[in-house]
Structure 1
Protein backbone atom coordinates (compact mmCIF):
# COMPACT_ATOMS: atom_id res chain seq x y z
CA UNK A 1 0.00 0.00 0.00
CA UNK A 2 1.30 3.43 -0.94
CA UNK A 3 0.78 6.33 1.48
CA UNK A 4 0.22 10.05 0.85
CA UNK A 5 0.37 12.87 3.40
CA UNK A 6 -0.79 16.37 2.47
CA UNK A 7 0.69 19.25 4.48
CA UNK A 8 -0.44 22.85 4.81
CA UNK A 9 -0.21 25.47 7.55
CA UNK A 10 -3.07 24.78 9.97
CA UNK A 11 -4.56 21.60 8.47
CA UNK A 12 -8.07 23.02 8.22
CA UNK A 13 -8.34 24.25 4.60
CA UNK A 14 -6.03 22.99 1.86
CA UNK A 15 -4.60 19.72 3.15
CA UNK A 16 -7.87 18.29 4.52
CA UNK A 17 -9.55 19.33 1.27
CA UNK A 18 -6.89 17.41 -0.66
CA UNK A 19 -7.24 14.43 1.69
CA UNK A 20 -11.01 14.28 1.15
CA UNK A 21 -10.79 14.83 -2.62
CA UNK A 22 -8.07 12.20 -3.15
CA UNK A 23 -10.01 9.67 -1.06
CA UNK A 24 -13.12 10.44 -3.10
CA UNK A 25 -11.30 10.07 -6.44
CA UNK A 26 -9.64 6.83 -5.33
CA UNK A 27 -13.03 5.45 -4.23
CA UNK A 28 -14.53 6.35 -7.62
CA UNK A 29 -11.69 4.44 -9.31
CA UNK A 30 -11.96 1.44 -6.96
CA UNK A 31 -8.48 2.14 -5.58
CA UNK A 32 -9.27 3.24 -2.02
CA UNK A 33 -7.81 0.05 -0.54
CA UNK A 34 -4.47 0.64 -2.26
CA UNK A 35 -3.62 4.12 -0.95
CA UNK A 36 -3.53 5.46 2.60
CA UNK A 37 -4.28 9.19 2.69
CA UNK A 38 -3.86 11.63 5.57
CA UNK A 39 -3.17 15.31 6.15
CA UNK A 40 -1.37 17.45 8.71
CA UNK A 41 -0.38 21.03 9.39
CA UNK A 42 2.94 22.58 10.23
CA UNK A 43 1.32 24.42 13.15
CA UNK A 44 -0.76 23.13 16.03
CA UNK A 45 -3.29 25.99 16.31
CA UNK A 46 -6.26 23.92 15.11
CA UNK A 47 -5.29 20.45 16.39
CA UNK A 48 -8.40 18.30 16.87
CA UNK A 49 -10.68 20.61 14.88
CA UNK A 50 -12.78 19.65 11.88
CA UNK A 51 -11.92 21.28 8.55
CA UNK A 52 -12.74 24.98 8.09
CA UNK A 53 -16.40 25.78 7.44
CA UNK A 54 -15.56 26.91 3.89
CA UNK A 55 -13.86 23.58 3.14
CA UNK A 56 -16.73 21.58 4.70
CA UNK A 57 -19.37 23.52 2.75
CA UNK A 58 -17.54 23.17 -0.55
CA UNK A 59 -16.98 19.42 -0.09
CA UNK A 60 -20.55 18.79 1.09
CA UNK A 61 -21.94 20.65 -1.94
CA UNK A 62 -19.99 18.24 -4.17
CA UNK A 63 -20.95 15.11 -2.25
CA UNK A 64 -17.40 14.54 -0.98
CA UNK A 65 -17.12 13.11 2.52
CA UNK A 66 -14.80 14.69 5.06
CA UNK A 67 -15.92 12.35 7.86
CA UNK A 68 -13.23 11.61 10.40
CA UNK A 69 -10.85 14.32 9.20
CA UNK A 70 -9.42 16.28 12.12
CA UNK A 71 -6.53 18.73 12.17
CA UNK A 72 -3.21 17.54 13.53
CA UNK A 73 0.37 18.73 13.47
CA UNK A 74 2.93 16.90 11.37
CA UNK A 75 5.40 14.83 13.34
CA UNK A 76 8.93 13.78 12.42
CA UNK A 77 7.77 10.14 12.26
CA UNK A 78 5.38 11.07 9.42
CA UNK A 79 8.41 11.62 7.22
CA UNK A 80 9.31 7.95 7.69
CA UNK A 81 5.76 6.61 7.58
CA UNK A 82 4.55 8.21 4.33
CA UNK A 83 5.80 7.49 0.82
CA UNK A 84 4.66 10.88 -0.50
CA UNK A 85 4.75 13.99 1.67
CA UNK A 86 3.11 16.69 -0.44
CA UNK A 87 3.25 20.34 0.64
CA UNK A 88 0.92 23.12 -0.44
CA UNK A 89 3.31 26.08 -0.46
CA UNK A 90 6.93 27.15 -0.08
CA UNK A 91 6.55 28.01 3.61
CA UNK A 92 5.23 24.48 4.28
CA UNK A 93 8.15 23.09 2.29
CA UNK A 94 10.69 24.95 4.44
CA UNK A 95 8.92 24.03 7.70
CA UNK A 96 8.85 20.32 6.84
CA UNK A 97 12.47 20.39 5.66
CA UNK A 98 13.39 22.00 8.98
CA UNK A 99 11.45 19.36 10.91
CA UNK A 100 13.22 16.61 9.02
CA UNK A 101 16.62 17.82 10.15
CA UNK A 102 18.00 15.99 7.11
CA UNK A 103 17.20 15.55 3.47
CA UNK A 104 13.56 14.53 3.21
CA UNK A 105 11.91 13.77 -0.08
CA UNK A 106 9.10 16.28 -0.38
CA UNK A 107 6.76 16.98 -3.26
CA UNK A 108 5.07 20.25 -4.12
CA UNK A 109 1.36 19.84 -4.76
CA UNK A 110 1.44 22.09 -7.83
CA UNK A 111 3.95 19.74 -9.48
CA UNK A 112 1.08 17.28 -9.95
CA UNK A 113 -1.02 19.84 -11.85
CA UNK A 114 -0.19 19.81 -15.56
CA UNK A 115 0.40 23.14 -17.29
CA UNK A 116 -0.27 25.32 -14.26
CA UNK A 117 1.24 28.72 -13.73
CA UNK A 118 0.66 28.45 -9.97
CA UNK A 119 3.81 28.17 -7.84
CA UNK A 120 1.79 27.12 -4.76
CA UNK A 121 -1.77 26.44 -3.69
CA UNK A 122 -3.30 29.68 -2.34
CA UNK A 123 -4.57 29.42 1.23
CA UNK A 124 -8.32 30.14 1.27
CA UNK A 125 -8.09 30.87 5.01
CA UNK A 126 -6.50 34.14 3.89
CA UNK A 127 -7.84 34.58 0.34
CA UNK A 128 -11.42 33.45 1.04
CA UNK A 129 -11.48 31.77 -2.38
CA UNK A 130 -12.26 28.12 -1.64
CA UNK A 131 -13.37 27.56 -5.25
CA UNK A 132 -9.94 28.47 -6.63
CA UNK A 133 -8.27 26.14 -4.13
CA UNK A 134 -10.72 23.34 -4.95
CA UNK A 135 -10.02 23.60 -8.70
CA UNK A 136 -6.30 23.21 -8.03
CA UNK A 137 -6.83 20.41 -5.50
CA UNK A 138 -9.10 18.48 -7.86
CA UNK A 139 -6.59 18.72 -10.72
CA UNK A 140 -3.65 17.91 -8.47
CA UNK A 141 -5.30 14.83 -6.99
CA UNK A 142 -6.00 13.54 -10.50
CA UNK A 143 -2.32 14.14 -11.24
CA UNK A 144 -1.30 12.21 -8.12
CA UNK A 145 -3.36 9.21 -9.21
CA UNK A 146 -1.86 9.46 -12.70
CA UNK A 147 1.66 9.59 -11.20
CA UNK A 148 1.02 6.59 -8.96
CA UNK A 149 -0.24 4.62 -11.95
CA UNK A 150 2.77 5.60 -14.04
CA UNK A 151 5.10 4.45 -11.28
CA UNK A 152 3.06 1.22 -11.09
CA UNK A 153 2.25 1.82 -7.45
CA UNK A 154 -1.47 1.33 -8.20
Structure 2
Protein backbone atom coordinates (compact mmCIF):
# COMPACT_ATOMS: atom_id res chain seq x y z
CA UNK A 1 0.00 0.00 0.00
CA UNK A 2 2.21 2.77 -1.33
CA UNK A 3 -0.19 5.21 -3.00
CA UNK A 4 -2.86 6.88 -0.86
CA UNK A 5 -5.37 9.42 -2.14
CA UNK A 6 -7.47 11.57 0.20
CA UNK A 7 -10.67 13.13 -1.16
CA UNK A 8 -13.15 15.77 -0.01
CA UNK A 9 -15.23 18.31 -1.94
CA UNK A 10 -13.16 21.45 -2.49
CA UNK A 11 -9.70 20.11 -1.55
CA UNK A 12 -9.02 23.16 0.63
CA UNK A 13 -10.20 22.18 4.14
CA UNK A 14 -10.30 18.51 5.08
CA UNK A 15 -8.31 16.50 2.55
CA UNK A 16 -5.18 18.73 2.69
CA UNK A 17 -5.07 18.23 6.47
CA UNK A 18 -5.46 14.45 6.16
CA UNK A 19 -2.83 14.41 3.40
CA UNK A 20 -0.34 16.29 5.61
CA UNK A 21 -1.02 14.00 8.58
CA UNK A 22 -0.57 10.87 6.47
CA UNK A 23 2.64 12.24 4.94
CA UNK A 24 3.99 12.80 8.44
CA UNK A 25 3.21 9.14 9.27
CA UNK A 26 4.51 7.73 5.96
CA UNK A 27 7.22 9.94 4.45
CA UNK A 28 8.18 7.24 1.94
CA UNK A 29 4.73 6.73 0.46
CA UNK A 30 2.99 8.60 -2.36
CA UNK A 31 0.18 10.54 -0.68
CA UNK A 32 -1.89 13.25 -2.29
CA UNK A 33 -5.34 14.80 -2.11
CA UNK A 34 -7.99 16.00 -4.52
CA UNK A 35 -11.54 17.32 -4.58
CA UNK A 36 -14.77 16.08 -6.10
CA UNK A 37 -15.52 19.73 -6.99
CA UNK A 38 -12.13 21.24 -6.31
CA UNK A 39 -11.45 24.93 -6.09
CA UNK A 40 -8.56 24.31 -8.47
CA UNK A 41 -5.39 26.21 -7.67
CA UNK A 42 -6.63 27.61 -4.36
CA UNK A 43 -4.51 27.27 -1.22
CA UNK A 44 -5.75 25.48 1.86
CA UNK A 45 -8.30 27.50 3.83
CA UNK A 46 -6.57 29.95 6.23
CA UNK A 47 -8.31 28.43 9.27
CA UNK A 48 -7.28 24.92 8.22
CA UNK A 49 -3.71 26.18 7.76
CA UNK A 50 -3.71 27.91 11.14
CA UNK A 51 -4.98 24.90 13.09
CA UNK A 52 -2.67 22.56 11.19
CA UNK A 53 0.30 24.80 12.01
CA UNK A 54 -0.62 24.64 15.71
CA UNK A 55 -0.17 20.87 15.37
CA UNK A 56 3.12 21.06 13.48
CA UNK A 57 1.73 20.66 9.95
CA UNK A 58 2.56 23.02 7.10
CA UNK A 59 -0.17 23.41 4.45
CA UNK A 60 1.31 26.54 2.86
CA UNK A 61 2.36 24.79 -0.37
CA UNK A 62 -0.99 23.04 -0.92
CA UNK A 63 -3.01 23.92 -4.02
CA UNK A 64 -6.39 22.35 -4.69
CA UNK A 65 -6.73 19.91 -7.58
CA UNK A 66 -9.66 18.16 -9.20
CA UNK A 67 -10.01 14.41 -8.79
CA UNK A 68 -9.22 12.49 -11.99
CA UNK A 69 -9.66 8.91 -13.19
CA UNK A 70 -5.88 8.55 -13.26
CA UNK A 71 -5.70 9.31 -9.54
CA UNK A 72 -8.28 6.64 -8.76
CA UNK A 73 -6.39 4.08 -10.83
CA UNK A 74 -3.03 5.03 -9.30
CA UNK A 75 -4.16 4.88 -5.66
CA UNK A 76 -3.97 1.70 -3.59
CA UNK A 77 -6.28 3.29 -1.00
CA UNK A 78 -8.74 6.17 -1.35
CA UNK A 79 -9.94 7.81 1.85
CA UNK A 80 -13.00 10.08 1.78
CA UNK A 81 -14.63 12.23 4.46
CA UNK A 82 -18.30 11.26 4.11
CA UNK A 83 -20.40 8.34 2.89
CA UNK A 84 -21.78 10.58 0.15
CA UNK A 85 -18.25 11.05 -1.20
CA UNK A 86 -17.77 7.29 -1.29
CA UNK A 87 -21.05 6.82 -3.15
CA UNK A 88 -20.20 9.53 -5.67
CA UNK A 89 -16.72 8.09 -6.25
CA UNK A 90 -18.03 4.54 -6.64
CA UNK A 91 -20.57 5.76 -9.17
CA UNK A 92 -18.06 7.81 -11.18
CA UNK A 93 -15.16 5.33 -10.86
CA UNK A 94 -16.65 1.84 -10.38
CA UNK A 95 -13.30 0.07 -10.82
CA UNK A 96 -12.02 1.84 -7.69
CA UNK A 97 -14.90 0.57 -5.55
CA UNK A 98 -12.92 -1.87 -3.38
CA UNK A 99 -10.30 0.68 -2.37
CA UNK A 100 -12.60 3.54 -1.34
CA UNK A 101 -13.16 3.93 2.41
CA UNK A 102 -14.32 6.67 4.76
CA UNK A 103 -11.56 8.10 6.94
CA UNK A 104 -14.00 7.88 9.86
CA UNK A 105 -14.72 4.16 9.38
CA UNK A 106 -13.13 2.94 12.60
CA UNK A 107 -15.26 -0.17 12.76
CA UNK A 108 -19.00 -0.74 12.82
CA UNK A 109 -19.65 0.90 16.18
CA UNK A 110 -17.14 3.72 15.89
CA UNK A 111 -17.81 5.05 12.38
CA UNK A 112 -18.24 8.80 11.93
CA UNK A 113 -18.47 11.37 9.16
CA UNK A 114 -16.10 14.33 9.00
CA UNK A 115 -18.26 17.43 8.49
CA UNK A 116 -17.14 20.09 6.05
CA UNK A 117 -16.00 23.18 7.99
CA UNK A 118 -15.94 25.41 4.87
CA UNK A 119 -17.20 28.92 5.68
CA UNK A 120 -17.80 27.87 9.28
CA UNK A 121 -16.26 29.32 12.46
CA UNK A 122 -12.92 28.21 13.86
CA UNK A 123 -14.63 25.68 16.16
CA UNK A 124 -15.85 23.73 13.10
CA UNK A 125 -12.30 23.60 11.72
CA UNK A 126 -10.95 22.48 15.09
CA UNK A 127 -13.58 19.73 15.28
CA UNK A 128 -12.79 18.61 11.73
CA UNK A 129 -9.06 18.60 12.51
CA UNK A 130 -9.60 16.40 15.56
CA UNK A 131 -11.87 14.01 13.62
CA UNK A 132 -9.27 13.78 10.85
CA UNK A 133 -6.56 13.09 13.44
CA UNK A 134 -8.64 10.23 14.89
CA UNK A 135 -9.24 8.77 11.44
CA UNK A 136 -5.63 9.09 10.34
CA UNK A 137 -4.41 7.46 13.55
CA UNK A 138 -6.69 4.47 12.96
CA UNK A 139 -5.88 4.14 9.26
CA UNK A 140 -2.13 4.59 9.83
CA UNK A 141 -2.20 1.50 12.07
CA UNK A 142 -4.12 -0.45 9.41
CA UNK A 143 -1.79 0.68 6.64
CA UNK A 144 1.23 -0.45 8.64
CA UNK A 145 -0.36 -3.88 9.05
CA UNK A 146 -1.06 -4.13 5.32
CA UNK A 147 2.29 -2.78 4.10
TM-score norm. by structure 2 comes to 0.88
- In the TM superposition, 1:1-150 aligns within 5 A as 2-24=2-24, 26=25, 31-33=26-28, 35-44=29-38, 46-102=39-95, 104-105=97-98, 106-112=100-106, 116=110, 118=112, 120-125=113-118, 127-128=120-121, 129-150=124-145
Q: CA deviation at 1:69?
A: 1.6
Structure 2 alignment gaps of length 5 or more:
none
Q: CA deviation at 1:101?
A: 4.3
| Contact map agreement 1:5 1:39 (CA 8 A) in 2 | yes
Q: Secondary structure at the match of 2:118?
A: helix
TM-score norm. by structure 1 comes to 0.84
Q: Secondary structure at the match of 1:4?
A: strand
Q: Give the superposed CA RMSD.
A: 2.0
State how many pairs are aligned. Answer: 144
**Cα distance between partner residues in 1 of 2:70 and 2:87:** 17
**Cα distance between partner residues in 2 of 1:95 and 1:73:** 14
Q: Secondary structure at the match of 2:57?
A: coil
Q: CA deviation at 1:142?
A: 1.2
